Structure 1
Amino acid sequence: MTKIAVFASGSGSNFGAILQAIERKELDATVELLICDKPNAYVMERARQAGVDSFVFQAKSFSSKEQYERVILEQLQSKNVEWIVLAGYMRLIGTVLLTSYEKRIINIHPSLLPAFAGKDAVGQAIDYGVKVMGVTVHFVDEGMDTGPIISQQSFHVQGDMSRSVIEDQIHFIEHELYPETLQQLFTKKGVHMVNANERMEE
């Protein structure tokens, strides 16, 4: 069983989906720790209700990214965490964690990367007027949503779809695709890298 830590900054819906997949025995993992940079984020309450230990920090309390990442690394090592799973974590990962968890840090992003990286990907896609949108799971590197793609799933945007409907569809895909992809990663030696609009195959 793979020991993971989830990093989140917001409501934690993907954190919740991961926990539910574990409970359904669809994901062979344990969430050893939640790392959060927002003390008032709702994900903290989700962790409390699920009995998951959490570590919360405020970046402004540290002199540098390296300093707070070293503190985080100590927390991860104390729990023997094997993989880092980003789920709405709104900070770039720095050298300390990238080096310690090379090719073992995963992120989910609400667009078909490399299109619409960064903040408000949904808004970017709507403003551009795309007819196909989707979700990407990728390895994390030093850039913003630039790491190698692992899996993607797309859907067609209908003309009458509001932003809230689009976001609901993206969340639905995220909550299925992320646990499925993680399970693939944790149970296979190799990773089937997919092209845009494909799903990772069983």
Structure 2
Amino acid sequence: MRIYLKDVKNNEKVKIYIKKADDYLDEIGYTEHGFRHVGITADLAFKILKKTGFPKREVELAAIAGWMHDMGNFLGRENHPQNGAILAMRVLEEMDGDMNEIAAVGEAIANHEEPSGIATNPITAAVVLADKADVHRSRVRNSNPATFDIHDRVNFAVVKSSIFVDQEKKEISLNLNIDIKICQVMEFFEIFLTRMVMCRKAASVLDCEFRLEVNKTKLS
């Protein structure tokens, strides 16, 4: 049977896995990876594939993968993409999903993170771009700026983040507004360079160029 995002959102196991994953990351000092983040990732993955002209079913599968992509974190941060893919495929099998579609979702989840992840199809590419686009101060849980690590500081410095698909120019642009009093642009690149390289490769799978704009200055 065909499974839709609304079905996955209502699945009790998925709800538990996402909450457990976010609770675990909270305990070890990571930024927010809960329902806010997976919701944004699912929504952006949906929009990216829709605007680049892919079939409705692939668009829906990208949204499903986006919703489920981080739930393997409670089994350990290092291998969370692969662990999450296994969990997701088991849940979707229990929901009597189509095996080809289940495999596509699993592949996207398993390959969404650098340095090991490789986007080789549109669903994975959309999830990669959507996930990396969610850089924002609202993800920072630490309430004391004096104790920010570099990830906290970079995320907190981003006051606005948006991704724009120009189908005519075949460009996917990530536009960030950064408070340079909190984080310099070079510091941003210190931790995000590998992510931006991954975004460029993902965009190429969608036959697009990836552009990064920081404070209205084009950097790529």
The normalised TM-score by structure 1 is 0.34
Higher strand share: 1
The normalised TM-score by structure 2 is 0.32
